[in-house]
């Protein structure tokens, strides 16, 4: 009799517990809802994707700039500060780097040789295009993301935007100002019409973007100075395939003779074709103004705003500003004093 009473009590306790537990009668459904709203998943603890930094340098000045770039990564890039860094130089320059090679090694940066077709060398920045393609091919299977940058890039904070969302393959900034870009509100001119024809860019791929320096709304025209890509997509390799299509075309050759900006930026035009040909709009993301911030750009070129604050900047670009910068430039640059002092010290050293 005692055993029966005890058994009844246990059953009653179990029934009571089941009824009082939220979602007990639809346990699977409740679990799915909890996972869906993140109550079982702490996304803030998700491991960031693996990343490789890459850049191209040609000549002593660019090598010195790139050294600052690498040191800034090792100092300010946060969780990415120990990521691999690949510095590409012309193959023929590898043996003549002298002490510079040791300086890169001390920062755990790997110097690699790259090659470019001889026919491309008459066009500015051509070597960078083919080095980018080599870096992308080498990065596939080794990292989730490749960040390809110009030598005048400097990191000031952790680049969390480089951790591209699932389904996104390309992070970009628009070109600084319009120049040869195509205004979105106007009909295509003969230059861009031929670009789209030659590079098989469909009309449906076109969308507007705004230039940061002169606030013009243009058709897609990506800044080649900082690109965040998923290597397996082959965007940079497509860039290297597109470029000869343009520079070997007699019509483009003639246009480049007539317009220095078409000559200088033909490589960047080829990039636009590569991206628009390879990716859907939802596979791209425009990075914020904090990335590729053009410090003192308004002092070098036309701009409708001031670029003398690095308060929020993650990466900056300085172009040729420091070639003839006033000695007190650091006094007019707003931002964290210790980082500005760090930058001034390294810029000063690079001139020795």
Give the whole-angstrom CA distance, residue 199 versus residue 69: 33
CATH class of 45-350: alpha beta
Could you please report the per-residue DSSP string of 68-102?
HHHHHHHHH-GGGTTS-EEEEEEGGGGGG-THHHH
Q: Which residues, including other chains, have CB under 8 Å from residue 148's CB and lie 6 or more apart?
A: 54, 55, 132, 135, 136, 226, 227, 228, 229, 236
- Where do the structural domains in the chain lie, given as residue ranges? 45-350
Give the whole-angstrom CA distance, residue 51 versus residue 142: 9
Of 87, 80, 86, 25, nearest in space to 62 by CA: 87
CA neighbours within 13 Å on the CB side: how many for 91?
8
Q: Residues of the chain whose pLDDT is less than 50? A: 1-45
Q: In what order do the strands lie in the sheet with 293-294?
A: 153-155, 315-317, 293-294
Of 30, 53, 193, 191, nearest in space to 135 by CA: 53
Q: Is the dihedral of CA 135, 136, 138, 143 positive or negative?
A: positive
Q: From the CB of residue 249, how many other CB atoms can be counted at a distance below 10 Å?
A: 15
pTM across the whole model: 0.86
pLDDT digits (tens, 9 = 90+) for 281-334: 999 999 999 999 999 999 999 899 999 999 999 999 999 999 989 999 999 999
CA-based angle 218:221:225, to the nearest 5? 135
User: Strand, coil or helix: what is 189?
Assistant: coil
- Work out the burial of residue 285: count CB atoms within 10 Å of its CB; fewer than 13 is exposed, 13-18 middle, 19 or more buried: middle
Separation of first and last alpha carbons in the chain: 99
Query: Are 253 and 247 spatial neighbours (Cβ–Cβ below 8 Å)?
Result: yes
12, 14, 19, 22: CA torsion to nearest 10:
160
- Work out the burial of residue 117: count CB atoms within 10 Å of its CB; fewer than 13 is exposed, 13-18 middle, 19 or more buried: middle
Bridge partner list, 85: 53, 109
pLDDT digits (tens, 9 = 90+) for 140-155: 999 999 999 999 999 9
pLDDT, position 28: 34
pLDDT, position 8: 39
User: Strand, coil or helix: what is 331?
Assistant: helix
pLDDT, position 245: 98
């Amino acid at each position: 009799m005692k055993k029966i009473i005890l058994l009844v009590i246990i059953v009653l306790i179990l029934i009571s517990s089941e009824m009082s537990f939220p979602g007990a009668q639809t346990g699977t459904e409740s679990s799915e809802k909890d996972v869906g709203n993140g109550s079982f998943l702490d996304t803030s603890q998700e491991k960031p994707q693996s990343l490789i930094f890459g850049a191209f340098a040609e000549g002593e000045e660019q090598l010195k700039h790139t050294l600052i770039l690498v040191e800034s990564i090792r100092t300010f890039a946060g969780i990415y500060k120990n990521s691999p860094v690949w510095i590409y130089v012309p193959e023929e320059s590898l043996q003549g780097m002298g002490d510079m090679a040791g300086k890169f090694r001390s920062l755990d940066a790997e110097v690699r040789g790259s090659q470019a077709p001889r026919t491309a060398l008459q066009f500015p920045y051509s070597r960078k295009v083919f080095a980018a393609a080599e870096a992308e091919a080498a990065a596939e299977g080794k990292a989730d993301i490749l960040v390809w940058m110009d030598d005048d890039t400097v990191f000031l904070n952790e680049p969390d935007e480089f951790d591209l969302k699932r389904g996104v393959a390309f992070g970009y900034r628009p070109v600084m100002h319009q120049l040869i870009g195509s205004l979105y509100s106007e009909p295509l001119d003969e230059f861009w019409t031929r670009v789209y024809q030659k590079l098989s860019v469909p009309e449906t791929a076109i969308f507007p973007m705004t230039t940061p320096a002169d606030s013009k709304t243009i058709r897609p025209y990506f800044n080649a100075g900082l690109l965040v890509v998923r290597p397996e997509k082959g965007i940079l390799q497509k860039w290297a395939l597109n470029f000869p299509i343009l520079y070997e075309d007699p019509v483009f050759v003639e246009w480049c003779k007539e317009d220095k900006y078409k000559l200088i930026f033909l490589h960047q035009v080829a990039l636009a074709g590569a991206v628009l040909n390879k990716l859907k709009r939802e596979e791209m993301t425009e990075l914020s103004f904090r990335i590729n911030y053009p410090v003192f750009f308004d002092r070098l070129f036309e701009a409708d705003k001031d670029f003398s604050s690095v308060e929020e900047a993650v990466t900056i670009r300085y172009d040729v500003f420091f070639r003839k910068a006033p000695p007190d430039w650091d006094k007019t640059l707003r931002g964290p004093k210790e980082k500005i002092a760090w930058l001034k010290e390294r810029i000063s050293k690079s001139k020795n």
